[in-house]
Structure 1
Amino acid sequence: MMQITKRISILFLILMVAGLLFGCMQPLSQSAGKGDVEVLILDGARTIQPSDVEIKIVSYVLSGTGPNGATLANKTFTASPYTESKLAEGAWTFTVNGLNAAGSIVASGSNTATIIANSTVSVSVVLTPVKDGSGTGTFSLSGTIPSAVTLSSFTGVIAPSTGGANTTFAVTVSGTNFSYSNSTLPVGSYILTLVASQAAGAWRGVYALRIYQGKTSTLSLNLTADDFAGATINGVAKYYDKAANQYSGISVTITSTTSTDFAPASVTTGNAGSFNFTGLDAGTYIIEAKDPNAVYQPTSITITIGSNETVTTPDLVLTKAGNHVVIFRDSNTEWELAGVPATVMGDLIETEIGLTEGTGANQYEYKTSSDMAAYTPSLGDVVIIGGDQSQAFYDAYTTNKSKFDTFVNNGGTMYWIACDNGWAEGDFTSSLPGGVTWRDSYEYYIDIVYFQHPITKNFPTQLYGYYASHGGFDNLDVANITGLMVYVKEDAGALPTYIEYRYGLGKVLATTTPLEYYVTNGSTDMPTGFNTTYKDLFKLMLVRSIKYIMGKTVSDTIPASDAGAIPKALTPIRMSH
């Protein structure tokens, strides 16, 4: 992991004040550092569009505008990702045009990223077709179904990607053939959803659709009986400390992340702990196992399944819910230098959960890095590693890493605020339990990608903050973990910033977002359609996280911000370092 050097220059007092007011990272001086950008083109493979040669993209042109008048001239490339080096550090806007063989622009997209000296920042650019005035084009659907399949309905929805009125339609079915055509669709990008239902099950297809002026985008399908059979997800839920055939009473619930009309379903296990969900559409599902008595922590897993496929999940193992919280932090950390109270985590645990400070059950306590060597965690502990720690703290954790790894592997629970390179200047270069690592990168926007989890339920699609994430988890595909769930990702870099996973029998919750910082700092703007500030949404995420990791009930309500508490203007403050 790269060490990021942070310096304060008295000559740039204005920059210091801005950083104190809005930044979760120590203010940077205006250096002439250079960094790299890696551009990833996102252009869906399942896109329905005309087959004309003039629409096919054969090359890309990258341009950009940066800080202090810096520009990036047109750079042509043919393969994604593409890396451009030695860009001035600071905020950039990048634009990519997709060209056809004749050199004409047929699609375009842009995105923003903050270049950091001596590092590579990833930015994803989604290309959409260039709109040609107010013209229209045609979408044509045709195909066949087996003679043994009798459809009760075949419907579709064409939804504009940028919002607006949907087009709902019925597909015409005649014998084994079906068809639909619409020649009045405005030029643009759409999401097409098709659902063909029969008594035994339903087939569902979701596609990207592009409409070009005066052209026809065609989709041909030949559905089989297997497409309607329905998929199956089965498995076993069990308690980590009970013998086989003692797993009765566990509630197992299935919810869909890809279908808005799927009704969650639940079953209760018998002694064997087995569960079985049948007749499912192809898609992605969350399977959650929960102890109704809350003696054990719930566990969940994400499963993606194809049409008529049967998937057996890894065992869903419920471990004991923690009743004692141990918060590891050193002095002048967790953004204490930015005005965050040293007791920020304990204060929330007291007010939101009702625990008191102490060493017993239903209590919380603070420990420092100097306590790690003598600390012996028990399975009743919930261990929290505070964010923005010093280098000495991270070094001490690395020295005692095997102790924490063993704790989780045996069924323990950890909550890692994996947010380094902040005001305390610590750089964590080791790994979380299971070998999980992250790469350093600062982003202002993070995207919620799973809205059914208790931590993110009813949240807006995107959160904003000054350095809303300090990096992205970069080795989840090779780490020694199971049951991975991703809640939040970087907007530009697209790496996960909030994850939950299993290592052995235990659970780890980890985020690269500086959640403690936003308890007292952050933007008082509000997302469109919400009456809660970004600052308060981040704080709510922290509160929900603590409740969730302790197995407590998490409300899905988003409280409104107190209008009287939102300052009309921020007063500059001065702090020493």
Structure 2
Amino acid sequence: MKTKRRKAGIALILFVSIYIIGCGKGGPLDVLETAPVRVEVGYQDVDPILWRDVSNIMLRVTGDNFSPIVDTQSVNTTIFLLKVPIGDSRVFTAFGTDTNGMAYLWGRKDTNIAGGDTTRISIELSPLLGNAGDSILILRDSLPWKLSCTDSILDILGANYTVVPSDSFANFFPNSIKNTIIIPSDQPQEFYDNYRTYATKFNNFVYDGGVMFFSACDKGWNCGNILEAGIVFPSGVTLDTIHHTDTLNIVIGKHPIVTELDTLRGYFASYSWFTDRPPFAQILTVSPDTVERPTLLVYQYGSGLVLLSSQPLEYEYGNGIDNDDIGILLPRILSFLCNNDK
């Protein structure tokens, strides 16, 4: 009896071992075939003010069926030599960062990798958000404060955009390279609830290389409440309690969105502020309090970028703007997302 049990145990171990190791081609541990890739990162057209703070170049390579490949080098070496799995739609994203990992520049390239000779790829860096997808998706159920100024600005810019209502999120599959997502302010509760339901889908969109601009100014005429919906933005950023303030101070003037701006004013210029932000987030504006509260910030998430605002940008723009009005940020942001560089 003992001999039979021992033989049965040995047979079971052998079966499990064969299953884990795999038996020939097509087994569970097949290794993806790779090919040599040479990536050269350029920065010739970068503003020297932005380049001054960049100390490292980080390269991320993503695609189906393999974990992201990440490599970091100093700015003295902008050529990367990699082994990348063969296949279609391999996304190469480069970030120019400081010593703390804060990104100031980025660039990306979507290409196929075939076997054989070395594939050569060139990526040009530009300010964050400057290489957003050409096809814009406006996610909304209602116009913010009954204003269509986002559409009007995009029309002037000649942008290609589509409005996507939240009741279609279940069958909504944005392309991280081709699309840019814009979520306007002041949405109804149903919209925020639906976003929360499919938050993982939107997080993955950004993580895989997409750009998302979320204007998180809620509790307007459409009565939606982001906190009540339980929304957490990519990388764990949250919206804090209401904090009305009549002025905003620009704290980081290096990004073109806020270049040459100083103090911005507006009616309830910021409804709330952001907390739990990643340490590498660029804070562009804050409330003018003893404790500065971030109200506009941009940060890297995976291979993509997130721009968050808690300001009533559409309301201020729709009611007329001067050079010191926060409404001036809306056309600056949209122009940048349309690759007009300001």
TM range (shorter): 0.5 to 0.7
1:482 and 1:507 mapped to 2: Cα distance? Answer: 15
Match of 1:518 in 2: 316
Following superposition of structure 1 onto structure 2, how do residues 75-474 of structure 1 map, counting pairs within 5 Å?
245-251=38-44, 255=49, 264=52, 274-276=73-75, 301=97, 303=98, 311=99, 313=101, 318-319=107-108, 321=131, 322-331=133-142, 333-336=143-146, 340=147, 343-351=148-156, 353-355=157-159, 363-379=160-176, 380-429=178-227, 430-439=231-240, 440-460=242-262, 462-474=263-275
Match of 2:333 in 1: 545
Contact 2:314 2:330 in 1 (8 A): yes
1:268 and 1:442 mapped to 2: Cα distance? Answer: 38
SS in structure 2 of the partner of residue 407 of structure 1: helix
Match of 2:10 in 1: none
2:200 and 2:55 mapped to 1: Cα distance? Answer: 38
SS in structure 1 of the partner of residue 226 of structure 2: coil
C-alpha spacing 1:383/1:376, structure 2 compared with 1 (3 Å) = same
More helix per residue: 2
Match of 1:485 in 2: 282
Q: Which amino acid aligns with 1:469?
A: S
SS in structure 1 of the partner of residue 137 of structure 2: strand
| 1:98-147 C-alpha deviation (Å, 9 max, x unpaired) | xxxxxxxxxxxxxxxxxxxxxxxxxxxxxxxxxxxxxxxxxxxxxxxxxx
Match of 1:45 in 2: none
TM-score by length of 2: 0.65
C-alpha spacing 1:244/1:514, structure 2 compared with 1 (3 Å) = farther
Q: Which amino acid aligns with 1:344?
A: C
SS in structure 1 of the partner of residue 332 of structure 2: helix
C-alpha spacing 1:509/1:455, structure 2 compared with 1 (3 Å) = same
C-alpha spacing 1:247/1:391, structure 2 compared with 1 (3 Å) = same
User: Offset at 1:456?
Assistant: 0.6
User: Offset at 1:491?
Assistant: 1.2
User: Offset at 1:297?
Assistant: 8.6
2:252 and 2:261 mapped to 1: Cα distance? Answer: 10
Contact 1:297 1:550 in 2 (8 A): no
Contact 2:267 2:316 in 1 (8 A): no
Following superposition of structure 1 onto structure 2, how do residues 58-69 of structure 1 map, counting pairs within 5 Å?
none
C-alpha spacing 1:468/1:265, structure 2 compared with 1 (3 Å) = closer
Q: Which amino acid aligns with 1:255?
A: I
1:504 and 1:297 mapped to 2: Cα distance? Answer: 10
Contact 1:469 1:514 in 2 (8 A): yes
C-alpha spacing 1:247/1:519, structure 2 compared with 1 (3 Å) = same
Identify which of 485, 504, 508 aligns with 2:306.
508
1:296 and 1:542 mapped to 2: Cα distance? Answer: 29
Q: Which amino acid aligns with 2:282?
A: M
SS in structure 2 of the partner of residue 455 of structure 1: helix
Identity of aligned residues (%): 28
Contact 2:286 2:292 in 1 (8 A): yes
SS in structure 2 of the partner of residue 551 of structure 1: coil
2:36 and 2:93 mapped to 1: Cα distance? Answer: 18
C-alpha spacing 1:374/1:503, structure 2 compared with 1 (3 Å) = same
SS in structure 2 of the partner of residue 424 of structure 1: coil
Gap regions ≥5 residues in structure 2 = 1-34, 60-70, 77-90, 110-130
User: Offset at 1:552?
Assistant: 2.9
C-alpha spacing 1:375/1:411, structure 2 compared with 1 (3 Å) = same
Contact 1:473 1:496 in 2 (8 A): yes
User: Offset at 1:319?
Assistant: 3.5
1:267 and 1:344 mapped to 2: Cα distance? Answer: 39
SS in structure 1 of the partner of residue 223 of structure 2: coil
Q: Which amino acid aligns with 2:203?
A: D
SS in structure 2 of the partner of residue 467 of structure 1: strand
TM-score by length of 1: 0.40
C-alpha spacing 1:388/1:312, structure 2 compared with 1 (3 Å) = closer
SS in structure 1 of the partner of residue 308 of structure 2: strand
CA RMSD of aligned residues (A): 3.3
